[in-house]
Each structure stands twice: as structure tokens, then as C-alpha cells.
Structure 1
Amino acid sequence: MSPAVSTRRIALLLAGLAMFGPFSIDTIFPAFAQMGEQFDADKLAMQQTIAVYLIAYALMSIVHGPLSDVLGRRRVILVGLSVFALASVGCALAGDLTTLLVFRALQGLSAGVGLIVGRAVIRDMFDGDDAQRLMSQVSMIFSIAPAIAPIIGGWILGWQRWPMIFWFLVVFSLALLFATWRWLPETHPREARSKLVPACLLRDYAAILLNPRFQRLAAAGAFNFSALFLYIASAPAFVMDILRLDERQFGWFFVPMISGMMLGSWVSGRAAGRISGARLVDIGFVCSGAAIVVNIAYNLTVSQPQLPWAVLPMTLNAFGIALVFPILTLAILDMYPRQRGAASSMQASTSLILNAAVAGLLSPMLSHSALWLAVGGAVFLAIGWSFWRWERRRDRTPPRPSPGPPPIEPSEPL
């Protein structure tokens, strides 16, 4: 097998591993009404199936990366996929909302291995522009998940009830389990692994979390993505209540958005080595900002949002996010070459905690109005951009002379 074929296979596998997290969120969106009717639950209660999943995902994401630093990437991914498959069986067999929420939490506890550990695998295998290209390829393939997941969920509901969606997730996770066992090599050799010492892990976490540069980069990425995730978390209300579509028409919302993300990921990969990472992030924020302005202006001028104008701004917003994400992620991983798993975990948990708050608190409050969703997205983007501008100013400011040796900060320029 040629190196090019091997790289493509790794990209497909890592993208698949990252996809089963979004699949477990988006495939059930079309089934909210059916599930709510069976469990006698209102929209706010059904929204907790997303919030519980994300909270568990965020909490366990702190552990996935360091475990892979200690035990190896491959072993942690295989165990995570096994637990996810069992949790999906529990969701499919749930007879009440409480049981469903318990197994949704178990899904969340295991789903992060693909995305979090997969990022560390990329940085283990490649450096510099090659790492950016592979990260962009994975992001481009991964972007398909939010688009096709609700469509698949709608198709399944066309011939079976909602439990069949979770049986689909069982099959999908088992297929990934086999592919990982068969094709994913161990990229973190024994001699490079950390020791499983809780005090050391806590010290590493504290060093990463308290690093000002990590805080700026992680916050810039998290708030930037939340401008779009607010719509993703509000998809059932946005599609069926605001756009007045049915459960089989989620593609009208997701396909344009994901098309923008795929195009942005492709451009990011092509730009590697040609345009600086910092310049690409600037361009990404400009694109997202233009999309937000257009979105607010449109919703101020209409009483009933219509296709395609209601979703086109999200295409440009997603394009901008896809330019920003690989650069910020690789910058964080490069800060900690011996603790990439821990760094990936901390970045993911930062984003996931924010997303859990968006899904559980803000989405129910704002999803009744397209204008309020647009304003909420604008606030998130403005916060993310502010953190990025802060990072850019720090990067351009020469260090002040000090009487002693300079402090060691594990950072590299973008």
C-alpha cells in the first residue's frame, strides 16, 4: 500500500471516529416529537437528551486524552467504542425518559474518544503543514455527519419507530470498532507514554488550564463555534416550528451549513504552507462576521423566514469556522508536544461545557425566534473574535526585559 493510500485510509478512519459523536446528537432530532409523545415530555424535557449527553461528554473529555497519553491511543479508542455501542443498546431499549437520559449520559462519557484522541493521533503522525492538511481532510469528511445524520434519522422514522435510530448507532459504532482494530496503528509508543500518576495528571491539567495562551486560543475556538452550534442545538425548533418543515426535511437546514464547512476545510488544506495560520484565522472571522450581519439584517426585514435565505448565511458562517478550527487546534497541540492528549482533552472540554450550556439553557430560551437566534450567534462570535484579537496583540507585543531568566511558556507562533 502506498503512503498516499495509507494517509487517505487514516483520514477516513479518523473522520469516522469523529463522526459518531455528532451522529448520536443529530440523528435523533427528527424523532423528538415521537419520543416526546411516548414519554409524555415537552420540548424542554426532550432538549435535555442533548444537554445530558454534552455534559457527560465534556466531563469525560478531560480524561480521554490523558488516558491515551498513558495507555496508548488505540486501546483507549477501542474501549470507548465498545462502551458507546453498549450505551446505544440501552437507549434503544429504554422504556421511559429517565432510563433514556441515563444511557444518553453513558453515550456522552464514551463518545469523545474518537474526536479527542483522533486529534492527538494526527499530531503524532504528522508535523507542520502536513498536520494541517490532514486535520483539514478529517474536518472536511467529518463535516458530513451533521448534514446526513438527521436525514438518516428521518428516513429511519419513515419505516420504523425511534428505537431503530439507536440500533443504527449500534451498528455504526461496531463497524468503527472493527475498522479501528484492523487499520489504526498505535501512534504513541510505550517509551513516549506518561506514567499514570494522578498528582502528575492534575499538575499537567493545571499547567494547561492556567496557561494564558491556551485560555485565549481555546476560548476563541469555543465561542466561534458556538455561534453555529446554537442553531444546531435548536434544529428541531428551527426546522419544524420556524421554517415549518417536517421531520424528513432537516436536510434543508444541515446540507447548506455543512457544505460551507466542507468547503472551508478544503480551502484550509489547500492553503497550508501558502497562507499563514494567523492570516487564515483572520479571514475565517471576517467571513463569519459577514454572515452574522446578513443573517440579522434578513430576520429584521421579514416576519416569516423562508428558504433558502434563512439558511444561506449559515453556509458562510460555517465556511469561516472551518478556516479557524484546524489552526487553533494545532496551535494548542503544539504547545504541549509530550501531553497532546491532555491538551486535546482540555480544549474539547472547554468547547463542550459551553455547548452544553447552549443546548440546555440558551437554545430553549432563544429557539422560538429566528431573530433571537441570529442575535445570540452574533454575541458568541463577537466574544470569540475578542479572544482572538487578544491573542494577536499578545503575539505582536515584544516581551518585557526581566532581571532573571525568562519564564518557560510552552507556546509557538501560529
Structure 2
Amino acid sequence: MTSRTSTLTSPSGSAVPLGAPTELRLALILGALSAIGPLTIDMYLPSFPDLATALGVSIASVQLTLAAYLAGLAVGQIAYGPLADRFGRRAPLLAGLTLYVAASLACSMATTLPVLATARFIQALGGCAGIVISRTVVRDHFDERGSARLYSSLMLVMGIAPILAPLIGSQLLLVASWRAIFLVLALVGVAALLMIALALPESLPPEARRRRSLSDVFRTFGGLLRERRFVRLSIAGGTAQAAMFAYISGSPFVFIELFHISPQRYPLIFGANAFGLIAASQINRWLVGRHGVIRVFRVAIVIALAAYAALWLSIQFDVGLIGVIPSLFVGIASGGLILPNATAAAMAPYGAQAGSAAALLGTLQMACGATAAATVSALADGTARPMVTVMLGCAVLALLLAAPERPAPRPA
């Protein structure tokens, strides 16, 4: 497929520089780049019991390594936005992926839980470059509705990762230890470096770059934080993501230990839920065109709340997998409608500050995810209640944040 195209335009209507990839190619490249996050999060989930045994800790303690990774994503994204606005998109992305590869190798050699958690934190600092800059490149080319459609396409490509990652991890455990999982992730990082170096052109020309002091950067973030709509939409999307991270953190224990699903069969359940997320994200492309971004976003939150309430009741009354799996499927799938629309709506007004807006949005959302994963670990009581209670709480908060704002009263 040739990369010379005039089909892409920036939100302002100006042509994208000659040599820009087609929309399909851009979706494939950015989707593969974004898939690094799900691969890094999900591939090692089947190894939680083995990791706990090898490091001499509980599974609840192993869950903290996931929280450490999410915390690294939250912290790291703050830096990449201003860097992407100042130095362009490619240079920070290549630097971040290099750090990711080094940290993945460190994870493979960890001998204690604190060392592994620290390496996971650093791994996230590198890997989050792809998350921020993928959003920024999309915003370089598209308006709100176009961005929502492409974000949905990214979810289609990156959605393959949650299906394959636990399956790959579980199969690796049949022939090697958990350390091999992190060696594979290091190879994934090397492949991503080559892909970006060879196939993703720069989307921010030098004349459009913003050279700002540190004080200017903080003023930009402060201005974004004062925008109530941006913060509400970012955190509402973040709570939907947090519900998924509560599920990701707690599901190895719930399914492998409580429901006695083998590590090799666990990826089937995980993959089915990931498929629901992908399917919903593609339906979103059609729904947004007919009903608009915000309306679809709000209806999807109501669906998520109903699904997680049903999940909570299934656990309370101990109805077993027959009640857990359907409600979990619907709740996770709703994220395919919530997250791309929340992201597109929050980012839409900030073309000139796309990097900083993407960074702050990602930080807010990943902070929600890290909090949810840590809370599931902290509340661990040998049951599924911590996981499902956190998921339900996230949906309630999302509903409150997504409610239409009341107009300011007119002066008498």
C-alpha cells in the first residue's frame, strides 16, 4: 500500500504533508503501537500464581506490580505531551520505546517483588510514549467525529492484543518460566522501534512546534485542569478504564483460584471479553455517525452501570459462572463505546495543545486505573467482592461525571 495520499486532512482542513500514510495504514501502525500497553498488562496475568510462588508472596501482592505499571503510565504521560509538542512526534516515541525495551529485560531478571514492581514502573514510563503520541497523531489529522472513528479503529487493532496476550503467556508457561514473558515483551519493543523508524512519518512540522519553558508547560496543564468539561470527560472515560483494570487485576485470582479455571483456559474467558470490547468499538463507528459522540457515550455508561450491578448481585448471591460471565461481558464491552468517545470529546477543542491535552488526559485516566487496581489488592479478602465492588463503584462515578452540566443562572 502506498503511503502517498491526499485523503487525510488536519482538523483545520489543511492538507497533510505528502508521504503521510493512508487512514487504514495509520490505524494499523498506531493500533499496533497502542497494543504494546495491553500486551504488557495482559501477557503475564496467567503467571500470577507462578510469580507468587517464585517470589514468595501472595497473589494479592503480585497484583501490586500491575498497579505499579499503571502508576508509571500515569506519571510518564505528563512528560511526553510537552515533549511531543516541542520535538515532534517521532523522537520522544523512539526514546520511550528504547526505555521500554531496557526495562522489560530488567523485569525478566527480577528476583524480588520490589525489584519487579520498580522495573514495571520504569517499563510503563517508556511504554506510555505510544499511548500519548498515538492520540496526538490522531488529533494532528482529524476533527472530533473523525477522531472518534479512528480511535474505534485503533481499538479494533489493539483489541487483538488482550485476546492473544494471555493465550501467549499461558502457552509460554508450558515450556518456560514467567521470565520468558518479559523477554518476549522486550522483542515486541524492538519490533515497534523498527516499525516507527521505517513506517511512521513525522506529523508535526518544525514550524508548528511549541518551544515552551517548564513554567509554560505547567500553565498549560493548569489551564486544562480548569476546564471542567475536559476534566469531567477525561475522568469519566478513566473510570470506565478503571473498571477494566479492576477486572484485569482481580480476574486471575477470581477465575483461576476461586472458579478453578486452569491458566491455559483462563485466556478463553479473557479473550471473549476482549472480543466484546472490540465489537462494541466497531459498532461505535456507526453509532457516532447517527447519534453523535456525547449521546452514545452517556447511554453506554448506563449500560455499564446495569451490567456491573448485575455482576455484583451475581457474586452476592453466589450464582456462579452462569451469572458472572454474561454481565461481565456486557460491562467490559461497554468500554468500547465509552472510552473512544470520552477521549474524542475531551480532546476535540485542543488542536494547538494536542500533545499536552493527550498527556494530561492519559495521566488522569491511568491514575484512575492504578487506583482501581491497588484498591482491589488492598481489599483482598479471598472472594470476588473486591473486584466487582470496585467495578460497580467506577460505573457509578462515571454516571455522575457524564451528567449534563446545569447552565449557569442568569443574573437578575
Q: Give the TM-score normalised by the residue count of structure 2.
A: 0.90
Structure 2 residue ranges without an equivalent (≥5): 8-20
Q: Render the CA deviation track for 1:218-272: whole Å, top value 9, x for unaligned.
A: 1211122222321111122112122211211222331221121111110111233
Q: Render the CA deviation track for 1:274-302: whole Å, top value 9, x for unaligned.
A: 22112111221122122123223333333
Match status 1:56 vs 2:72: yes
Q: Which moved more, 1:229-238 or 1:366-375?
A: 366-375
The equivalent of 1:384 in structure 2 is 398
Match status 1:324 vs 2:321: no
Correspondence for 2:87 among 46, 67, 71: 71
Correspondence for 1:129 among 119, 142, 145: 145
Match status 1:231 vs 2:247: yes
Please list, as runs of the form range in 1=range in 2, the aligned pairs for 1:2-151 lying within 5 A after superposition.
3=5, 6-151=22-167
The equivalent of 1:410 in structure 2 is none
Aligned partners of 2:243, 2:176: CA distance in 1, in Å? 34
Q: Secondary structure at the match of 2:57?
A: coil
1:72–1:188 contact (8 Å) kept in structure 2: yes
Aligned partners of 1:333, 1:195: CA distance in 2, in Å? 21
Q: Secondary structure at the match of 1:349?
A: helix
Specify the code of the residue in structure 1 equivalent to 2:94: L
Q: Secondary structure at the match of 1:274?
A: helix
Structure 1 residue ranges without an equivalent (≥5): 403-414
The equivalent of 1:179 in structure 2 is 195
Q: Render the CA deviation track for 1:96-134: whole Å, top value 9, x for unaligned.
A: 333323321210111111111100101101224322211
RMSD between aligned residues: 2.0
Aligned partners of 1:295, 1:109: CA distance in 2, in Å? 34
Please list, as runs of the form range in 1=range in 2, the aligned pairs for 1:296-311 lying within 5 A after superposition.
296-302=312-318, 305-306=320-321, 309-311=323-325
1:284–1:319 contact (8 Å) kept in structure 2: no
Match status 1:357 vs 2:371: yes
The equivalent of 1:337 in structure 2 is 351
Residue 213 (structure 1) shift: 1.6
Q: Render the CA deviation track for 1:391-414: whole Å, top value 9, x for unaligned.
A: x234xx377469xxxxxxxxxxxx
Correspondence for 2:273 among 254, 257, 271: 257
Aligned partners of 1:347, 1:339: CA distance in 2, in Å? 12
Match status 1:192 vs 2:208: yes
Aligned partners of 1:399, 1:325: CA distance in 2, in Å? 31
2:145–2:293 contact (8 Å) kept in structure 1: no
Percent of residue pairs identical: 27
Aligned partners of 2:354, 2:31: CA distance in 1, in Å? 18
Q: Secondary structure at the match of 1:310?
A: helix
Correspondence for 1:393 among 369, 380, 405: 405
Residue 62 (structure 1) shift: 0.8
The equivalent of 2:17 in structure 1 is none
2:172–2:181 contact (8 Å) kept in structure 1: yes
Residue 371 (structure 1) shift: 4.1
Q: Which moved more, 1:362-371 or 1:95-104?
A: 362-371
Residue 367 (structure 1) shift: 6.6
1:234–1:364 contact (8 Å) kept in structure 2: no
1:147–1:255 contact (8 Å) kept in structure 2: yes
Specify the code of the residue in structure 2 equivalent to 1:167: L
Q: Render the CA deviation track for 1:357-390: whole Å, top value 9, x for unaligned.
A: 222233341473234433332221011110100x
Distance 1:52 1:372, change over 3 A: closer
Distance 1:147 1:195, change over 3 A: same
Aligned partners of 2:382, 2:194: CA distance in 1, in Å? 42
The equivalent of 1:407 in structure 2 is none
Aligned partners of 1:367, 1:345: CA distance in 2, in Å? 35
1:228–1:314 contact (8 Å) kept in structure 2: no
Q: Secondary structure at the match of 1:272?
A: helix
Specify the code of the residue in structure 2 equivalent to 1:387: L
Residue 36 (structure 1) shift: 2.2
Aligned partners of 1:253, 1:241: CA distance in 2, in Å? 14
Q: Which moved more, 1:231-240 or 1:291-300?
A: 291-300
Q: Which moved more, 1:216-225 or 1:162-171?
A: 216-225
Correspondence for 1:375 among 386, 389, 393: 389
Residue 183 (structure 1) shift: 0.9
Q: Render the CA deviation track for 1:5-47: whole Å, top value 9, x for unaligned.
A: 8222211111111111221121111222222222222223322
Q: Render the CA deviation track for 1:36-94: whole Å, top value 9, x for unaligned.
A: 22222222332221122222221111111111011111111111111101111111122
